[in-house]
């Protein structure tokens, strides 16, 4: 009888450990999936930017600094390889785009241009999708980090080498309004 109870207890512990491990793997995979969603939207934005820059060039040729900042930031975003590098490049690119749209406000003909309006709308839609994807990513990171930092998950996280993940944070510059000089 003692052997049977011992076996039942060991099986129950094994099932609990497997459940905790599987939950951590599932949460880690959700983070990776959420990051892939962000990456997809960032790529969509990167694909739209050259068209936007070309449209703006015709109207605001003397705004080379703003256009150059967008092109440079886009190139950095495209060449970034790690999630942390992509997050940093994305923050710079978001700031450059805000600056470009602020400059575009000074050109009524540009704002009225159908091609520019369509590109701006597409970029705004993409920015909204990026924002939602970032929020989803941060939610996944929060759930994962909670799972590996709370008892009994913290014990198994150490044993199975689950490491804490960082959420997506906006850069300080992204929190400031763009400054436009004419």
Measuring CA to CA, which residue among 167, 166, 150 is closest to residue 158? 150
Q: How confident is the model at residue 171 (pLDDT cuts 50, 70, 90)?
A: low
Greater pLDDT, 118 or 150: 150
Residue 182 counted as domain residue: no
Measuring CA to CA, which residue among 83, 52, 86 is closest to residue 66? 52
d(CA 143, CA 130) in angstroms, rounded, equals: 20
Residue with tokens 């599932």: 26
Q: What are the pLDDT digits (tens) for 52-109? A: 888 887 777 667 788 888 999 999 999 998 888 888 898 899 888 888 888 888 877 7
d(CA 22, CA 30) in angstroms, rounded, equals: 12
The mean pLDDT of 105-131, rounded to a whole number, is: 85
| The predicted structure's pLDDT at residue 182 | 37
Greater pLDDT, 113 or 129: 129
Q: How confident is the model at residue 139 (pLDDT cuts 50, 70, 90)?
A: very high
Residue 125 counted as domain residue: yes
Residue 27 counted as domain residue: yes
66 contacts 180 by C-beta, under 8 angstroms: no
Q: What is the DSSP letter of 178?
A: P
d(CA 17, CA 145) in angstroms, rounded, equals: 18
181: pLDDT strictly greater than 50 = no
67 contacts 56 by C-beta, under 8 angstroms: yes
Q: What are the pLDDT digits (tens) for 5-53? A: 999 999 999 999 999 999 999 999 999 999 999 999 999 999 999 888 8
| The predicted structure's pLDDT at residue 145 | 97
112: pLDDT strictly greater than 80 = no
Structurally, the chain folds into a number of domains equal to 1
The mean pLDDT of 101-125, rounded to a whole number, is: 83
What are the residue ranges of helices labelled H in 60-82?
64-79
Residue 23, domain extent = 2-175
Greater pLDDT, 177 or 104: 104
CATH number of the CATH domain containing 163: 1.20.1440.20
175: pLDDT strictly greater than 60 = no
Residue 41 counted as domain residue: yes
């Amino acid at each position: 009888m003692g052997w049977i109870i011992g076996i039942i207890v060991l099986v129950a512990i094994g099932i609990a450990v497997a459940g905790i491990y599987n939950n951590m793997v599932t949460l880690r995979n959700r983070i990776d999936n959420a990051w892939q969603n962000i990456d997809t939207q960032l790529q969509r934005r990167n694909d739209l930017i050259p068209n936007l820059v070309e449209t703006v060039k015709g109207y605001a040729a003397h705004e080379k600094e703003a256009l150059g900042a967008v092109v440079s930031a886009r190139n950095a975003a495209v060449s970034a390889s790690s999630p942390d590098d992509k997050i940093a490049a994305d923050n710079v690119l978001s700031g450059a785009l805000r600056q470009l749209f602020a400059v575009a406000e000074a050109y009524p003909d540009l704002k009225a241009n159908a091609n520019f309006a369509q590109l701006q709308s597409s970029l705004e839609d993409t920015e909204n999708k990026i924002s939602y994807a970032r929020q989803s990513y941060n939610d996944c990171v929060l759930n994962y980090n909670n799972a590996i930092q709370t008892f009994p998950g913290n014990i198994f996280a150490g044993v199975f080498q689950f490491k804490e993940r960082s959420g997506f944070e906006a850069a300080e510059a992204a929190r400031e309004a763009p400054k436009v000089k004419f």
